[in-house]
Structure 1
């Protein structure tokens, strides 16, 4: 690969700002890399849409990133990964494409001592059993329970990530799994919980307060960043470092720039100025 190709940015897309948790992990692992992030906020959420619609949205988002020139694509959305990863790889064979499901599955298999794993995600991800399949490929004897948590995405997008509202909704979803009703003492509860949507890490405190201290919570962001680093290194695409050269980040959104900047800063952990965000049409 040429030095010019290595200098191209890493492209990421998500249905909204949740994928910024992946971007944050990439920044921490590879601070010299340039990033181009697209949040398709006009059509959020993806998780309640049909597979055909999700695949179409994913192709449109990828096309917008590819036309800006990228060296690698990260599908920073569990729903799009579970539905459209193969479609994107077929459509763009010259660009490496990495999703968030496989790295999350690998992390959960390492984290679970007893092989009892719970996965929370959007309706589409749970319906497609993407994590079930990925985990069982790695750990065939694992016992997996999946739970769709559709209200978590709007809660995260609104910034309502802790307190009584978030915790009561988390309890409604998670108590049947982690606090079975009396008389069910012999039910073995999971020892690992996979946050199968990139919006969900913002609700980690509320989730932790519901499930207790002993369950390992797996967030695929750091594992995905490791997979991206490995792929770039294998292809000779690591950005050449020169002194204090630090990577830049550009943001694209399909709706409401001020809202993207405001909410995105919560996910990224650093402020985003509205003039750093470009409004685009897919």
Structure 2
């Protein structure tokens, strides 16, 4: 039986990572868990986020995954190292890949970071960026309202644009040349964010770089999928399943349309 890559997030944001993994590694089976009942994680304290992340990992480990991906910046910031002590499989977060992509992209050395309150408060991106490139100038901004509209399936239109514009206003006149979307929900709004920030600011989503890291780790562990059969993906959410399924199907489109998919609303401790 093919082992899966387990990917978790506070809600639907981690689907941006799922989409990129499906594009780069189409033979891999994915088990996705969106903790929609307790989203967003950003306003919560670090211990609460660590507890929720641990509960999800303890649930997912029953499915015998070959890797766990914490596709939530807030959870990566506060729980990544803790989760690594709990499991024997590789655990990957989204912050370091995103930081590496920004360093490759910036020409001026002036980088912006937007994220949830928890991610920005943790300083995780600043630490990751300066660990590689200490001379960078970094402007960070919490944009909690963006998660809320994405979780409600609002990605475009006047309401989305107005909220994005209001949220990003403090960064518009900053002399940055790239902006890290430090929350996996934000790529859902990439068109609106691009419109507000303008053509001279490159937008950095960690999803593509995270998928590359997943591929590299699996390759070095000789764990890439070898089966030619079509993988059956599993999608779990802890809250209302209707909007979760609607957003998932809309975002992943051709990657899952007409293909076998399992949808579940789990209870912790059961598989």
Q: TM-score, normalised by structure 2?
A: 0.94
Instruction: Tell me what 1:184 maps to.
Output: none
State the 1:89 CA deviation: 0.3
Q: Is structure 2 residue 19 aligned with structure 1 residue 35? A: no
SS state at 1:263 partner: helix
Stretch moving more, 264-273 or 26-35: 264-273
Aligned with residue 152 of structure 1, among 146, 150, 159: 146
Hey, what's the Cα distance between the residues in 1 that align with 2:29 and 2:160? Answer: 34
Partner secondary structure for residue 37 of structure 2? helix
Structure 2: gaps (5+ residues): none
CA distance in 2, matches of 1:256, 1:175: 32
- TM-score normalized by the length of structure 1: 0.90
Q: Could you tell me which residue of structure 1 aligns to residue 9 of structure 2?
A: 14
Q: Which residue of 1 aligns with 2:248?
A: 264
Structure 1 residue 17: deviation in Å?
A: 1.0
Report the aligned-residue RMSD. 1.7
For residues 101 and 176 of structure 1, the distance between their equivalents in structure 2, rounded to whole angstroms, comes to 22
- SS of match in other structure, 2:144: coil
1:183 maps to which residue?
A: none
Deviation at 1:165, TM superposition (A): 1.7
Partner of 1:276, secondary structure, is strand
SS in 1 for 2:65: coil
The answer on whether the counterparts of 2:232 and 2:262 sit within 8 Å (CA) in structure 1 is no
Structure 2 Cα separation of the partners of residues 203 and 155 of structure 1: 9
Is the CA contact 1:18–1:267 (under 8 Å) kept in the aligned structure 2?
A: no
Equivalent residue for 1:62, pick from 29, 50, 57: 57
Displacement of 1:213: 0.9
- Work out whether 1:190 is the aligned partner of 2:206: no
Q: Does 2:235 match 1:251?
A: yes
Number of residue pairs aligned between Structure 1 and Structure 2 = 266
